[in-house]
């Protein structure tokens, strides 16, 4: 889709003129030229995020009614975003949040009891074991169901700049893991030197393990550093291309699900055997053996002993 440069000197008008192109492929706006547009994708995303924060109270109901008219079809979000001149991903997040708010209003004993019953009814446990577990299960279901109806941990409530939020989210994953490790009974500490190839250390039975932590928000994990990007960075330079993560960098790779705090505890010696293509994008289903498997630390200890 062609970019309209008629209002290249006015960000608001420029975005309004090009909202369909922005929501089709915003990466096209990285290719700015001093003789034409002076705004890149970062400028545009920040402008649209601020615009949404300012205008949402006035247009929220109208947007939701429009989306309801489309039958809450996800592929129609872009039509709503274009009509109201917002960034598609921001509007999707808003709609998800609003519908979860409705779901959360139904949270209560009936919902929690239904979840508990559903778990037990679909379990192969004997009736005696079900009776034994029911009270404890009900307690954890009550807490977990609340988090489910909130769509997990709350994110960026203060509308922080996207670049800053990305960095902060990385830190949050690291702190989540350290907190979880300490709660699980391990002697674990942050590493404050950002140039280090690992983010935390675990002292287990006098043996030190280096841990690299990555936050994930989807269903894939990459055992490769992100390419360095942003303004003024040559993405083709070898120094800016992400390198493969190996056991030379860290002993344990921990993928932290930022939505709910689940940790995949992955010894890097296992991943070293994978080829370069296999490690680029790994579905978490391939890593289920490591999900909340803190015993992997003991296994590493025994391998070294």
Q: Specify if 167 maps to a domain.
A: yes
CB 280 within 8 A of CB 224: yes
pTM given for the model: 0.84
User: What whole-number distance in Å separates Cα of residue 197 and Cα of residue 204?
Assistant: 20
Q: Specify if 296 maps to a domain.
A: yes
Q: Is the dihedral of CA 86, 92, 97, 98 positive or negative?
A: positive
Q: How many domains does the chain have?
A: 3
Q: Specify if 197 maps to a domain.
A: yes
Written in H, E and C, the secondary structure of 5-40 is CCCCCCHHHHHHHCHHHHHHCHHHHHCCCCCCCCCC
Q: Specify if 44 maps to a domain.
A: yes
- Residue-number span of the structural domain to which 141 is assigned: 106-149
Q: Specify if 207 maps to a domain.
A: yes
Question: Do residue 211 and residue 254 come from a single domain?
Answer: yes
Question: Do residue 226 and residue 182 come from a single domain?
Answer: yes
pLDDT per residue rounded down to tens, the chain (305 residues): 788 989 988 999 999 999 999 999 998 888 655 455 578 888 999 999 999 999 999 999 999 999 999 999 999 999 999 999 999 999 999 999 999 999 999 999 999 999 999 999 999 999 999 999 999 999 999 999 999 999 999 887 776 776 677 777 778 999 999 999 999 999 999 998 888 999 999 999 999 999 999 999 989 999 998 765 555 554 554 565 779 999 999 999 999 999 999 999 999 999 999 999 999 999 999 999 999 999 999 999 999 99
Question: Do residue 18 and residue 32 come from a single domain?
Answer: yes
Question: Do residue 89 and residue 176 come from a single domain?
Answer: no
User: What whole-number distance in Å separates Cα of residue 286 and Cα of residue 221?
Assistant: 10
Q: Specify if 4 maps to a domain.
A: no
């Amino acid at each position: 889709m062609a970019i309209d440069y008629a209002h290249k000197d006015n960000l608001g008008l420029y975005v309004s003129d090009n909202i369909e192109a922005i929501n089709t492929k915003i990466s096209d706006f990285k290719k700015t030229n001093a003789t034409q547009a002076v705004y890149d994708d970062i400028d545009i995303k920040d402008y649209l995020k601020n615009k949404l924060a300012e205008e949402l109270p006035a247009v929220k109901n109208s947007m939701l009614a429009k989306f309801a008219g489309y039958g809450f079809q996800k592929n129609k979000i872009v039509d709503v975003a274009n009509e109201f001149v917002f960034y598609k991903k921001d509007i999707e997040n808003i709609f998800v949040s609003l519908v979860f708010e409705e779901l959360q209003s139904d949270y209560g004993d009936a919902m929690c009891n239904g979840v508990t019953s559903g778990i037990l009814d679909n379990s192969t446990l004997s009736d005696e074991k079900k009776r034994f577990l029911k009270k404890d299960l009900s307690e954890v279901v009550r807490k977990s169901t609340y988090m489910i109806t909130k769509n997990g941990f709350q994110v960026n409530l203060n509308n922080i700049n996207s670049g800053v939020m990305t960095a902060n989210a990385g830190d949050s994953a690291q702190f989540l893991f350290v907190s979880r490790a300490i709660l699980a009974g391990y002697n674990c500490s942050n590493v404050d030197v950002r140039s280090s190839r690992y983010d935390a250390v675990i002292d287990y039975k006098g043996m030190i393990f280096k841990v690299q932590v990555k936050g994930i928000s989807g269903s894939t994990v990459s055992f490769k550093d992100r390419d360095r990007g942003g303004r003024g960075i040559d993405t083709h330079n070898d120094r800016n291309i992400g390198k493969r993560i190996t056991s030379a960098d860290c002993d344990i790779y921990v993928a932290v699900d930022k939505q709910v705090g689940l940790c995949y505890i992955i010894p890097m010696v296992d991943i070293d055997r994978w080829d370069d293509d296999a490690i680029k994008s790994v579905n978490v289903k391939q890593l289920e053996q490591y999900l909340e498997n803190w015993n992997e630390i003991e296994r590493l200890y025994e391998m070294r002993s």
